[in-house]
Amino acid sequence: MTAIVSPKPAIALSGVSKSFGSTQVLKGIDLAVSPGEVLVLIGASGSGKSTVLRIMSGLEIADAGEIWVNDVPLHDSRRAKEIRGHVGMVFQQFNLFPHKTALGNVTLALIKARKMSKADAERTAMAALNRVGLADRAGHYPSQLSGGQQQRVAIARALAVEPKIMFFDEATSALDPELVGEVTEVMRELAREGMTMVVVTHEMGFARKTADRVVFMDKGVIAEQGAPEQIFVHPQNARTQQFLSRVL
């Protein structure tokens, strides 16, 4: 007889709490993300979504609880930096170096994170730009690119180091509406390829189509979670219903 073993989670949070000063912004978060899962975090501004992402990526240390990401115990501040280079982050602000080309921006990340030679880094960077459909813009500077293209360069920069997990924090919030689609399409493609992703977004269309699971956060707790159709069509929690009635 073969035992059925559920895959070890890529991310596991248990009892995670975090305060800033006297304000407790996370109040005992329990959450596991499976390899290949696309988890979308929704919730009002200030509910703690970014703090969860920052703790999962080792940028912020929790006050209490355990956080395992890719087998690294992130609750141990001495070991949190081990996760760098294994996770990729994409933020609302693209944070590209203005005086470097698209290729230069991605190459620099590789030279820093992977200690690659310039030639190897440029080859890998071109492959990453190709993945986001920007191989033909490699020589362009950020000012010569649209917001959507700049964000795709930022995604290429994160992908180039071959992360196991990708985090997106409102990656499309700074974009003009007509540029959102090209970025969410790249994100959908990554999801199809089996990337483990945790995505904070206001794009409910993306959440409905792409999420395996939607988590609704309210004032530092997970108020409700479930499959997209469950959350969007049959939300159980009054706070979820209220939130969705404002954003949908």
| Contact of residue 46 among ligand ADP, Mg ion, none (CB under 5-8 Å per partner type) | ligand ADP
Q: Which stretch binds Mg ion (CB under 5 A): 23-31, 45-53, 174-182, 206-214?
A: 45-53
| Contact of residue 70 among ligand ADP, Mg ion, none (CB under 5-8 Å per partner type) | none
Query: Least distance in Å: CB of 28 to ligand ADP?
Result: 15
Query: Least distance in Å: CB of 47 to ligand ADP?
Result: 4
Closest CB to Mg ion belongs to which residue?
A: 50
Closest to 155 in 3D by CA, of 99, 201, 92? 92
Question: What pairs with residue 199 in β-bridges?
Answer: 40, 168
Is residue 50 near Mg ion by the rule CB under 5 A? yes
CA atoms within 13 A on the CB side of 107: 15
d(CA 225, CA 38): 13
Enumerate binding residues for ligand ADP (CB under 6 A): 20, 25, 43, 45-51
d(CA 52, CA 25): 10
Coil, helix or strand for 29? Answer: strand
Handedness of CA 180, 182, 183, 189 (dihedral sign): positive
- Residue 212: CB atoms within 10 Å: 15
Query: Least distance in Å: CB of 39 to ligand ADP?
Result: 15
Query: Least distance in Å: CB of 60 to ligand ADP?
Result: 8
Total residues interacting with Mg ion, rule: CB under 5 A? 1
What does the binding site for Mg ion look like in residue numbers (CB under 5 A)?
A: 50
